Structure 1
Amino acid sequence: MSEMVFGVVPVLAAVLTGLFAGLFLSFSMAVMPGLARAGDRAMIESMRGINTAILNPLFAVVFVGAPVAALGSTALYATSGSPTPLVWSGAGLVLLLTAMVVTFAVNVPRNNALEQAGTTEHLGDPAAVRAAFEPGWVRWNHVRSLASVAALVCSVMALLPA
């Protein structure tokens, strides 16, 4: 049984971390550059729609599951006496937590401010609303993208033989 747990949990951590990283990286590589080409009202309306659509069970499994699985993997490595995978797994966990802190400290408050700005049709100055939202959101999304991709590298490195 313990061999199965040692085989499954670290792999699950790597898979969920890959999905976690892919989510944020897709925003950096395609979603936000695509929205940057849209007019102010269209960008605001689209981002509001994305912010609503992303709150779903699959997102929750990935967003919460990746750090939980990484924590489980790190705990397993801590009890196994294998220092190299423990360091890699622990580093991956710290990087995932960094991405989560950025999400809750920067991106979510910006999403909330965008929602509270009023309906798209009644925005007095959509360019100002966009300017207050987009540059900072994008910059910090790049930070969480890099942190989560680095977390993926760490979780894969933890799987390699020492």
Structure 2
Amino acid sequence: MRVFALVVATVTTGLTAALFYAYACSATAGLSTADNLMVAQVMQRLNVAVLNGWFLLGFVGALVSTTAAVALHLPSDGHRVLPAAVGALVCYTGSLVVTRVVNLPLNQALAEAGRSGALGYAGVGTGDRLPSRRAQSQWIAARALLSTAALGFLCWALVMHCNLGPR
């Protein structure tokens, strides 16, 4: 059961890390030279399109399976894997905090601006104080790095579980 939890955690975290990586490297980089209206429109469409069952499977599945992997490795015979599993959980939770504190409020403000017909970016017409495009890109990159670090920790946990690591 332990190895199953680690594998599921690794796969779901990998899917989420890949999405965040692609988002950070492609979407934000591709939009860096676009005007504010174009950025707002594209981000509104991406935010709607990404919310689907496949995304939620990886996004929520990574948290649930990584938590399960940590819990399953709490007994003394699982302590060799525990530091890496806990590191993964901390990093992935960090990416969720960034999502909750920075990305979701921005996504909501962009959606409201679209519904109200407000043009532009960063809360034009909503009265919200939102991060600049540069700050938003940095937070998107931070989320990608945190989820990628979680993936690295889970890979190391699998190595340790299989007794392939240093002894």
Range of TM-score over shorter length: 0.7 to 0.9
2:31 aligned residue: 35
Distance in 2 separating the partners of 1:128 and 1:48: 12
Alpha-carbon distance change, 120 to 134 in structure 1, aligned in 2, over 3 angstroms: farther
Distance 1:132 1:86 in 2: 37
Residues 4-153 of structure 1 aligned to structure 2 (within 5 Å):
5-79=1-75, 81-118=77-114, 122-123=118-119, 126=120, 129=123, 132-153=131-152
SS in 2 for 1:117: helix
What is residue 155 of structure 2 aligned with on the other side? 156
Aligned partners of 2:43, 2:101: CA distance in 1, in Å?
18
* 2:127 paired residue number: none
Measure how far apart 1:84 and its partner are. 2.4
What TM-score do you get using the length of structure 1 for normalisation? 0.87
Q: 2:109·2:122 contact (CA, 8 Å) conserved in 1?
A: no
SS in 1 for 2:34: coil
User: Kindly, what percent of the aligned residue pairs are identical?
Assistant: 33
Distance 1:115 1:99 in 2: 22
Query: CA, structure 1 residues 119+29, in 2 after alignment: closer, same or farther (shift >3 Å)?
Result: same
| Contact 1:110–1:133 (CA under 8 A) maintained in structure 2 | no
Deviates more, 1:149-158 or 1:111-120: 111-120
CA RMSD of aligned residues (A): 2.0
Deviation track 1:33-82 (CA, whole Å, cap 9, x = no partner) reads 11223232222111100011111001111110001110111111112522
Query: How many pairs align?
Result: 156
Structure 2 alignment gaps of length 5 or more:
125-129
| Alignment partners' CA distance in 1, 2:110 and 2:143 | 20
Contact 2:8 2:65 in 1 (8 A): yes
Query: 5+ residue gaps in structure 1?
Result: none
